[in-house]
């Protein structure tokens, strides 16, 4: 791989600061790569070419004036779930196909202020509901490692874009694994921060007690640079946490001597592909050589994560998506007979099959007579799962296991059976239910397809997670590999 | 727990979703499978567990001061509206 796109965001940042490349050059290069590969991957819903070049010119002027900042002039992509002022924000849905955001999401605003240049908006499962990026109204995203396979989801466009080096980094969101699972399937680094660490303002809501904004990057160092700019208190998000934001790059190099790693027994179960297990065990050997110790840990309630999630997430989704009524914004059906017909047909036609399925599950579990049996029961089990994690973190510093039970599967392989699709997130959902930060890092290949190792930590342990991931990436080069055909 | 066709029609009505004839049996099948998966929750003994109210322990919902912070931007917002007239959102006649 030759050319600027072979670099990490941290390396591009250094080159911009040193004046060896301009933001306009870099932005032009990535825009050209997007145009070249959009047909094969469908990773983007919109490309904001003109705005990007204007932003790049402004960034170059800031750099020429002597201003310094790690993100000035660095091109990035945003998942099309983040509102971007004056640009379309579709959330992968017909419902919002023509929606132009009146304002920027806090994440977008902060990265813009830090000088990052937006290349465009990435494709995704409709309203972030999916594990394969096949439910988008704008067509499926394809995996750059094998275009017959899915990139994972819901942030599949962001993951495919970073893997194919169409952008050095992209924002993403994670409600049940939507950052980590595509990161694993596309061979990139994916960080889901602690619940409340990154503002949800301007991020289209799916399940508000689980949703968290994060990043897809080439390296852990890149994620640290971006998170430092993105994280922090925001009074416009009522669940935003009032805690200072550290410089996440400061602790990357710390030695791992004495680090206690818990091996999640429930993750090394019968559903796990044996070759994936071997890749994870190889990666653990690397961490052991770095001075970490391993210990088996059991979280007995963790196997109930998937059923718990499929009550809590649809319940919150049915409530959040009630706002799409065909009146104030979004899709409206043709010639409504009356107001009820307007609501029903606008929603019936504007939402895709999976979104309707989740709204219906949520409506059912919240309906009279079932609330206690399903919703309250699930929130009780959620407390048990959360307590399991808290107990484990008394004994170990981080928990490690695979991110996904299998490598990327073929398009269409799981669309016929939602339950089979839901089980893709079996290893990622736990962290969302307990509000924990987690990161997926590339740790090898199985039959030419990338494998991800997941590291989960206690609340606000992002510095530790990024440190472990970075030390591993110093000793391995899996994260530097780009798919053939995209080098 | 088995769902009936009438359950699906009722849920769709509550959720204000128009379903076509061909969609009803599809959702009947998939919702039944999802509810069977959810049924696994019964295995957990939760008799002495309080339902979780916030993903972060000890956190409460923050309240803001009851003060006007928004400026009037209705023209900007209404650019996304399907139909407006005289700065109002238009819907089919509700009261005859």
Residue B50: exposure state from Cβ atoms within 10 A (0-12, 13-18, ≥19): exposed
pLDDT at position B59: 80
**Is A219 an active-site residue?**
no
Domain count, chain B: 1
Give the residue, B93 or A385, on which the prediction is more confident: A385
Domain identity same for A321 and A463: no
* pTM for the predicted model, two decimal places: 0.97
**Is A377 an active-site residue?**
no
Give bridge partners of residue A149 from the DSSP assignment: A410
**Is residue B18 included in any domain, yes or no?**
yes
Domain identity same for A97 and A244: yes
- In our burial notation (b when 16+ CB lie closer than 10 A, e otherwise), range A335-353 reads ebeeeeebbbbbbbbbbbe
**Is residue B28 included in any domain, yes or no?**
yes
**Is residue B79 included in any domain, yes or no?**
no
Domain identity same for A323 and A244: no
- Using the Cβ of A269 and the Cβ atoms of chain B, whether some distance falls under 8 Å is answered with no
Give bridge partners of residue A410 from the DSSP assignment: A149
User: If residue A181 lies in a helix (H) or strand (E), which one and from where to where?
Assistant: helix A180-186
pLDDT at position B47: 93
**Is residue A269 included in any domain, yes or no?**
no
**Is A298 an active-site residue?**
no
Domain identity same for A339 and A247: no
A9 close to A116: Cβ distance less than 8 angstroms = no
Q: Last residue of a domain, which of A379, A410, A444?
A: A379
- Using the Cβ of A459 and the Cβ atoms of chain B, whether some distance falls under 8 Å is answered with yes
Q: Express each pLDDT in A251-262 by its tens digit.
A: 999 999 999 999
pLDDT at position A11: 98
Per-residue pLDDT at A241 exceeds 90: yes
Residues 167-206 of A with CB under 8 A from B: 194-196
The average pLDDT across A455-480 equals 98
**Upstream peptide bond of A154 is cis (omega within 30 degrees of 0):** yes
**Is residue B54 included in any domain, yes or no?**
no
Domain identity same for A29 and A138: yes
**Is residue A100 included in any domain, yes or no?**
yes
Q: Last residue of a domain, which of A379, A399, A422?
A: A379
Q: How far is CA A204 from the centre of its chain?
A: 14
List % helix, strand, coil for chain B (3-state, nearest 5).
40, 5, 60
Domain identity same for A104 and A174: yes
Per-residue pLDDT at B1 exceeds 70: no
β-bridge pairing A398-402 and A260-264: parallel
**Is residue A187 included in any domain, yes or no?**
yes
Domain identity same for A247 and A318: no
Residues 217-256 of A with CB under 8 A from B: 235, 238-239, 241
Whether residue A347 and residue B15 make contact (CB cut-off 8 A), yes or no, is yes
Whether residue B94 and residue A235 make contact (CB cut-off 8 A), yes or no, is no
Q: State which residues form the domain around A132.
A: 4-259+457-480
Selecting among A178, A199, A305, A461, the annotated active-site residue is A178
Q: Express each pLDDT in B56-95 by its tens digit.
A: 987 878 888 899 988 999 999 999 999 999 999 999 988 8
Per-residue pLDDT at A446 exceeds 70: yes
The average pLDDT across A348-369 equals 97
- Using the Cβ of A351 and the Cβ atoms of chain B, whether some distance falls under 8 Å is answered with yes
Percent over 90 (pLDDT), chain A:
97
Choose the closest CB to B31 out of A328, A360, A382.
A360
Q: Express each pLDDT in A324-349 by its tens digit.
A: 999 999 999 999 999 999 999 999 99
Whether residue B62 and residue A238 make contact (CB cut-off 8 A), yes or no, is yes
A77 close to A38: Cβ distance less than 8 angstroms = no
**ipTM for the complex shown:** 0.96
Q: Last residue of a domain, which of A340, A361, A379?
A: A379
Whether residue A210 and residue B31 make contact (CB cut-off 8 A), yes or no, is no
Domain identity same for A97 and A192: yes
Domain identity same for A364 and A474: no
**Is residue A387 included in any domain, yes or no?**
no
Domain identity same for A233 and A172: yes
- Domain containing residue A108: CATH number: 3.90.1300.10
Distance from the Cα of B58 to chain A's closest Cα (Å) equals: 12
**Is residue A361 included in any domain, yes or no?**
yes
CA–CA separation, A86 vs A268, rounded Å? 47
pLDDT at position B94: 83
Choose the closest CB to B38 out of A311, A336, A337.
A311
**Is residue A195 included in any domain, yes or no?**
yes
Confidence label for A37 from pLDDT (cuts 50, 70 and 90)? very high
Choose the closest CB to A344 out of B16, B39, B40.
B16
Q: In A19-142, which ranges are continuous DSSP H helix? A: 23-41, 49-64, 106-113
Confidence label for A458 from pLDDT (cuts 50, 70 and 90)? very high
The encoded tokens of residue A127 equal: 């309203």
- Using the Cβ of A335 and the Cβ atoms of chain B, whether some distance falls under 8 Å is answered with no
Residue of A364, A366, A372 to mutate, testing the B interface (most B Cβ within 10 Å of its Cβ): A364
**Is residue B76 included in any domain, yes or no?**
no
Q: How far is CA A486 from the centre of its chain?
A: 21
Domain identity same for A335 and A248: no
**Is residue B34 included in any domain, yes or no?**
yes
- Using the Cβ of A357 and the Cβ atoms of chain B, whether some distance falls under 8 Å is answered with yes
pLDDT at position A457: 98
Q: State which residues form the domain around B28.
A: 5-38
Per-residue pLDDT at A1 exceeds 70: no
Per-residue pLDDT at A78 exceeds 70: yes
Close Cβ partners of A8 (under 8 Å, ≥ 6 residues apart): A168, A217, A218, A219, A221, A222
Domain count, chain A: 2
The per-residue pLDDT of chain A, averaged, comes to: 97
**Is residue B14 included in any domain, yes or no?**
yes
The average pLDDT across A390-404 equals 98
Selecting among A23, A79, A133, A155, the annotated active-site residue is A79
**Is residue A445 included in any domain, yes or no?**
no
Choose the closest CB to A379 out of B51, B81, B89.
B51
**Is residue B24 included in any domain, yes or no?**
yes
pLDDT at position B50: 94
pLDDT at position A2: 74
**Is residue A462 included in any domain, yes or no?**
yes
Helices B23-38 and A305-320, axial angle in degrees (round to 10): 130
Whether residue B18 and residue A348 make contact (CB cut-off 8 A), yes or no, is yes
CA–CA separation, A430 vs A23, rounded Å? 40
Nearest to B76 by CA among A47, A205, A83: A83
pLDDT at position A150: 98
Q: In A190-338, which ranges are continuous DSSP H helix? A: 220-230, 274-289, 305-320
The average pLDDT across A27-35 equals 98
The average pLDDT across A228-247 equals 96
Give bridge partners of residue A452 from the DSSP assignment: A442
Q: Express each pLDDT in A156-166 by its tens digit.
A: 999 999 999 99
A200 close to A83: Cβ distance less than 8 angstroms = no
Distance from the Cα of A379 to chain B's closest Cα (Å) equals: 5
Domain identity same for A218 and A309: no
Q: Is A350 left (phi over 0), alpha (psi -120 to 50) or beta?
A: alpha
């Amino acid at each position: 791989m030759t050319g600027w796109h072979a670099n990490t965001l941290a390396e591009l940042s250094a080159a911009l600061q040193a004046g060896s490349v301009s933001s306009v050059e870099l932005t032009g290069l990535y825009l050209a790569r997007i145009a070249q590969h959009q047909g094969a991957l469908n990773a983007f819903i919109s490309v904001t070419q003109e705005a990007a070049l204007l932003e790049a010119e402004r960034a170059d002027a800031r750099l020429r004036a002597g201003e310094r900042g790690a993100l000035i002039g660095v091109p990035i992509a945003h998942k099309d779930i983040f509102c971007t002022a004056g640009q379309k924000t579709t959330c992968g849905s017909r419902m919002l196909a023509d929606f132009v955001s009146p304002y920027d999401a806090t994440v977008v605003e902060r990265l813009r202020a830090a000088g990052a240049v937006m290349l465009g908006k990435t494709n995704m499962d409709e309203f972030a509901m999916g594990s394969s990026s096949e439910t988008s109204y704008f067509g499926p995203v394809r995996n750059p490692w094998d275009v017959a396979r899915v990139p994972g989801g819901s942030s599949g466009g962001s993951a495919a874009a970073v893997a194919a080096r169409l952008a050095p980094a992209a924002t993403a969101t994670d409600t049940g694994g939507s950052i980590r699972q595509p990161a694993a399937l596309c061979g990139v680094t994916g960080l889901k921060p602690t619940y409340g660490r990154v503002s949800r303002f301007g991020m289209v809501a799916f399940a508000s007690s689980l949703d968290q904004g994060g990043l897809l990057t080439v390296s852990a160092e890149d994620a640290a640079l971006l998170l430092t700019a993105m994280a922090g208190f925001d009074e416009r998000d009522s669940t935003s946490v009032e805690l200072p934001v550290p410089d996440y790059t400061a602790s990357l190099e710390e030695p791992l001597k004495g680090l206690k790693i818990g091996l999640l027994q429930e993750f090394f179960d019968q559903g796990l592909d044996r070759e994936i297990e071997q890749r994870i065990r190889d990666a653990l050997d690397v961490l052991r050589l770095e001075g970490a110790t391993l210990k088996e840990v059991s979280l007995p309630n963790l196997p109930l994560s998937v059923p718990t999630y499929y009550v809590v997430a649809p319940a919150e989704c049915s409530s959040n998506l009630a706002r799409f009524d065909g009146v104030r914004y979004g899709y409206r059906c043709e010639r409504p007979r009356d107001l009820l017909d307007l609501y029903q047909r606008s929603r019936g036609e504007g939402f895709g099959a999976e979104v309707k399925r989740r709204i219906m599950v949520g409506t059912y579990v919240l309906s009279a007579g079932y609330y206690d049996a399903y919703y309250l029961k699930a929130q009780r089990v959620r407390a048990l799962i959360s307590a399991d994690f808290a107990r484990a973190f008394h004994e170990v510093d981080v928990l490690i296991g695979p991110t996904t039970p299998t490598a990327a599967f073929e398009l269409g392989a799981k669309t016929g059976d939602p339950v089979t699709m839901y089980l893709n997130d079996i290893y990622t959902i736990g962290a969302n239910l307990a509000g924990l930060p987690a990161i997926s890092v590339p740790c090898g290949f199985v039959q030419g397809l990338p494998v991800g190792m997941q590291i989960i930590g206690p609340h606000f342990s992002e510095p530790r997670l990024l440190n472990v991931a970075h030390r591993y990436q110093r000793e391995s080069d899996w994260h530097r590999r780009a798919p053939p055909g995209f080098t | 727990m088995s769902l009936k066709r009438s359950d699906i029609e009722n849920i769709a009505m509550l959720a204000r979703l128009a379903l076509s004839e061909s969609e009803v049996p599809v959702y009947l099948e998939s919702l039944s499978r999802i509810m069977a998966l959810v049924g696994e929750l019964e295995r957990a003994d939760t008799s002495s567990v309080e339902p979780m109210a916030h993903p972060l322990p000890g956190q409460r919902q923050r309240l803001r001061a009851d003060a006007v912070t928004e400026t009037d931007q209705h023209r900007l917002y209404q650019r996304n509206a399907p139909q407006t007239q005289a700065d109002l959102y238009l819907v089919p006649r509700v009261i005859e």
